[in-house]
């Protein structure tokens, strides 16, 4: 095996990326009336979109299925080989079937397509050979032809699978827009993980788990220190008797106060506190709280509603939930 210099490695990688980028760019001319018909067929079906393929195209089919399901278009994956060995029963009468293949001539596909045609389902062929069996026997044809693979031998599916993937993404995004699929819908379909939390987790879900440090405006320095220490949030709110927010005192405020020449025995909370602290409403998204913390380079926010003090949300709460 010939040694390859670091310069050759980089140039080969860049060449691969460029070739695949060219393949994607060529798809612009393939977004035609057939693409529009495919989207409309999927949009208006009363069934699901069944996507099939074999080899690397089957892997792309699975990814497109996952994207469609997560964006509001019901889809299932059917491996072409399994389909002709018993799994064809997955296809229901009202389903639309999309078959993905570069060559459009795979033996399994040549067996599968006539069977689906006999069922009467609409067939969408996503194919890289417009003269193939798949192209000629599909009701709708999506052209994903590439001039060559990024593979040096023009054999391994590289540019072709990238083109298939991007065509699938284009379909999914268009269908999202047609369905009016928004961030609230996305949150319902992605309740787990960081992505879901960014879309549905609210400040009220977090701050209520914390202590609620608070002192009155006339509290002594000792009372302030004890409250901050006891509640372990590095801060205490300063309120009046009606729990209305007057200000906050942080660890940093205490340190700055101690650097000054003051008579500690007479210091009260109202003299130390920061008025007009940064606040957030309980119904705000937790990710909005994170944005404020980053913007102002602070670690806590006061949660309040109509100037009524409710509690504290801390940076640690957001770390714990995996938002950082």
The binding site for Zn(2+) comprises 79
Q: Which of 45, 79, 43 has the alpha carbon at shortest distance from 60? A: 79
Give 216's contacts (C-beta < 8 A, 6+ positions apart).
238, 239, 240, 241, 269
What 8-state DSSP symbol labels residue 46? S
Helix (H, G, I), strand (E, B) or coil at 143: strand
- Could you tell me how far CA 135 lies from the centroid of its own chain? 34
Rounded Cα gap, residues 298 and 301, in angstroms: 8
Give 30's contacts (C-beta < 8 A, 6+ positions apart).
142, 143, 144, 145, 167
Cα dist. 48→17, 87, 93, 121, 268 in Å?
34, 16, 10, 11, 68
Alpha helices (H) along the chain: 6-26, 33-44, 56-70, 80-83, 107-119, 133-136, 159-179, 183-189, 193-200, 204-207, 221-231, 251-258, 269-272, 286-296, 315-320
Rounded Cα gap, residues 151 and 158, in angstroms: 7
Structure tokens given for 136: 């000629």
Q: Which class for 245: exposed (0-12), middle (13-18), buried (19 or more C-beta within 10 A)?
A: buried
Side-chain-side CA neighbours of residue 174 (13 Å) = 16
How many degrees, rounded to 5, is the angle at CA 112 between CA 111 and CA 118?
105
Q: Which residues are annotated as a binding site?
A: 79
């Amino acid at each position: 095996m010939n040694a390859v210099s670091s310069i050759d490695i980089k140039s080969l990688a860049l060449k691969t990326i460029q070739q695949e980028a060219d393949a994607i760019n060529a798809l612009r001319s393939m977004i035609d009336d057939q693409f529009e018909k495919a989207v409309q067929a999927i949009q208006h079906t009363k069934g699901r979109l069944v996507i099939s393929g074999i080899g690397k195209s089957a892997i792309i089919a699975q990814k497109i299925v996952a994207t469609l399901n997560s964006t509001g278009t019901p889809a299932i994956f059917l491996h072409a080989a399994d389909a002709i060995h018993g799994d064809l029963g997955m296809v229901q009468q009202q389903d639309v079937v999309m078959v993905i293949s570069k060559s459009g001539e795979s033996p399994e596909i040549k067996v599968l397509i006539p069977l689906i045609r006999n069922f009467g389902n609409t067939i969408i062929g996503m194919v890289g050979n417009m003269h193939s069996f798949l192209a000629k026997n599909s009701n709708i044809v999506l052209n994903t032809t590439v001039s060559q693979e990024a593979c040096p031998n023009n054999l391994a599916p590289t540019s072709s699978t990238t083109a298939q993937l991007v065509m699938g993404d284009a379909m999914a995004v268009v269908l999202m827009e047609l369905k009016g699929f928004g961030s609230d819908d996305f949150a319902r379909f992605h309740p787990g993980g960081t992505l879901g939390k960014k879309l549905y987790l609210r400040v009220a879900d977090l701050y209520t788990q914390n202590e609620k440090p608070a002192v009155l405006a006339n509290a002594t320095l000792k009372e302030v220190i004890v409250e901050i220490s006891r509640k372990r949030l590095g801060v205490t709110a300063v309120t009046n008797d009606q729990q209305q927010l007057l200000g906050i005192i942080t660890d940093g405020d205490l340190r700055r106060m101690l650097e000054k020449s003051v008579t500690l025995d007479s210091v009260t909370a109202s003299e130390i506190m920061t008025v007009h602290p940064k606040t957030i409403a309980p119904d705000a998204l937790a990710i909005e709280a994170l944005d404020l913390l980053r913007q102002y380079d602070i670690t806590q926010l006061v949660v309040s509603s109509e100037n009524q003090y409710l509690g504290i949300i801390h940076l640690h709460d957001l770390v714990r939930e995996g938002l950082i």
